[in-house]
Amino acid sequence: MKIAFISDIHGNAIALDAVLEDIRKKAADRVYVLGDLCYRGPDPKGVLERVRSLNTKVIKGNADEWAVRGVRPGEVPDHVLELMNRERDWTVSRLDQQDIDYLTALPTELRLDVEGVSINAFHATPDSLFDIVVPGAGDDVLQAKLMSAGKADIYIYAHIHKPYIRYMEGKILMNTGSVGLPFDGLARASYAIVEVSEGTIGTSIERVPFDIEKAIRQYEDEQYPNAEMMARILRNASVK
């Protein structure tokens, strides 16, 4: 059984199409989505339509929560709060009430059993859509933040836009990275694959090229409120 985990699409339908095509080529049996579907990208409606057409399990990310109810003081630095809510308002203007209802109702955790291998997947941590757990965190932090909600063989999360795989005490910990807005300096969409076959477990991070300049033109053509900064992030694959 080969399973793809995708996340942090952020309204980038061009990157999502490239990733879904790569998943098809790799003949994955299932695809699961770990949140952050629409907000901060130029095509929120298109992404939501594509995700819903997968007919798969989808969980909520912090950006989905923001799309539903806005960004609150204390959740982001004060100097970007107004801008991020303008971006949120722009995103919601491209959606309808059915879309908002769909985002509102998304669950926050996914538990799977794949041929006897247990997988626990969530967006940021099992207890929060917003906590940030970085790749270089110590084993004690990773265990406390990511592995405390229940026993599993594999723990998968997203949120930080920086993919990695680590092994601790017989467990596997993976971050999917981001489909639409990678932050690790490699300007390619990122997603994770888990393959289980007769007791063997394979894990990988896949990096997929997409037409970055076309995505940037979408931001500009759609008059996205923060198009210049988003273009810089896409080209550099970094928020710095």
pTM (predicted TM-score): 0.97
CB 108 within 8 A of CB 122: yes
The DSSP element (H or E) to which 123 belongs, if any, is none
Segment holding 168, helix H or strand E = strand 164-168
**Amino acid present at 165:** I
pLDDT tens for the 240 residues of the chain, in order: 999 999 999 999 999 999 999 999 999 999 999 999 999 999 999 999 999 999 999 999 999 999 999 999 999 999 999 999 999 999 999 999 999 999 999 999 999 999 999 999 999 999 999 999 999 999 999 999 999 878 999 999 999 999 999 999 899 999 999 999 999 999 999 999 999 999 899 999 999 999 999 999 999 999 999 999 999 999 999 998
Q: Total domain count for the chain?
A: 1
Residue 108 tokens read as 């926050």
21 φ/ψ sector (left φ>0, alpha ψ -120 to 50, else beta): alpha
CA–CA separation, 191 and 33 (whole Å): 10
Classify strands 200-208 and 189-197 as parallel, antiparallel or unpaired: antiparallel
Facing residues of 6 across strands? 33
C-alpha 177/C-alpha 175 separation (Å) is 6
Domain range for 176 is 2-236
Assign 216 to helix, strand or coil.
helix
CATH code for the domain of 13: 3.60.21.10
Q: Is 75 exposed, middle or buried (0-12, 13-18, 19+ CB in 10 A)?
A: middle
What is the tens place of the pLDDT at every residue in 154-203? 999 999 999 999 999 899 999 999 999 999 999 999 999 999 999 899 99
